[in-house]
Amino acid sequence: MPSSQVSLALFVPLIAKREKVDEVSAFLGAGYDLVQAEPDTIQWFGVKYADHTPPTYAIFDTFRAESGRGAHLSGKVAEALMANAGALLAAGPDIMSNNILANKVVEGAKVGVGLRVLLTAKPEKVDEVREFLTGALPLVEAEPGTLVWYAIEFPGTNKFGIVDFFADETGRNAHIGGKVAEALFANADAMLVSPPDLVKVDVVASSVKSVKEKRG
């Protein structure tokens, strides 16, 4: 993967205390301001799971290199999260590192809704799932309403995921009814331990920096 592209990510589910939902949303809004000062945090999304019990949020962010991910984990957003976790969260946070297998990012995209899809491969099908997700990129690139899309792998496990974002419900519905989803569900019984775990999310805040290399 070229150095101009993101290759690493963090996925951090946040289970809010029921009485602290508004405060968690406000925290993610404040996180947007803090992440602007992190030049190596390339894309950052704070989301809320739609119609989910218990109330769950998540942070998903991307990096070009381990140095950027490490800087983020020791930066102000992570510091604020850990300082407020006891007051705001019912559990966690569970910080999960992952590798980006393939991605599509439309520069300047304004996103409002998204999807979080978790996949558990059968042990003998790990390579096949990895190849499926990598090979899905051309199909995603043909979807004009899919503005941001990541296929991810949780290293050292048989777990994968898709995190993607859209301007509105029209784009999301088109993707759910599109060729990637059709192929995924058609092959799920053969490749996966259980059906894909799909959750709709609403974007609370997002920061999408350019993935192009900086030039002097």
pLDDT of residue 212: 55
Q: How far apart are CA 45 and CA 205, in angstroms?
A: 6
pLDDT of residue 211: 57
Radius of gyration for the chain, computed over Cα atoms and rounded to the nearest angstrom? 17
pLDDT of residue 59: 95
Q: How far apart are CA 113 and CA 38, in angstroms?
A: 24
**Do the domain assignments include residue 27?**
yes
**Do the domain assignments include residue 124?**
yes
**Do the domain assignments include residue 83?**
yes
pLDDT tens digits, residue range 95-126? Answer: 999 999 999 999 888 999 999 999 999 999 99
Query: Which residues in the chain land under pLDDT 70?
Result: 1-4, 210-216
pLDDT of residue 107: 84
pLDDT tens digits, residue range 125-144? Answer: 999 999 999 999 999 999 99
pTM recorded for the entire structure: 0.91
pLDDT of residue 214: 42
Among 61, 58, 86, 47, CA closest to 6: 61
Beta-carbon contacts of residue 127 (< 8 Å; ≥ 6 apart): none
pLDDT of residue 3: 31
E strands, 106-196, where? 113-120, 146-154, 159-166
CATH (domain of 98): 3.30.70.100
**Do the domain assignments include residue 23?**
yes
Number of domains composing the chain: 1
**Do the domain assignments include residue 1?**
no
pLDDT of residue 70: 96
Question: Domain of 83?
Answer: 8-208
Q: Which tokens hold the place of 49?
A: 């799971």
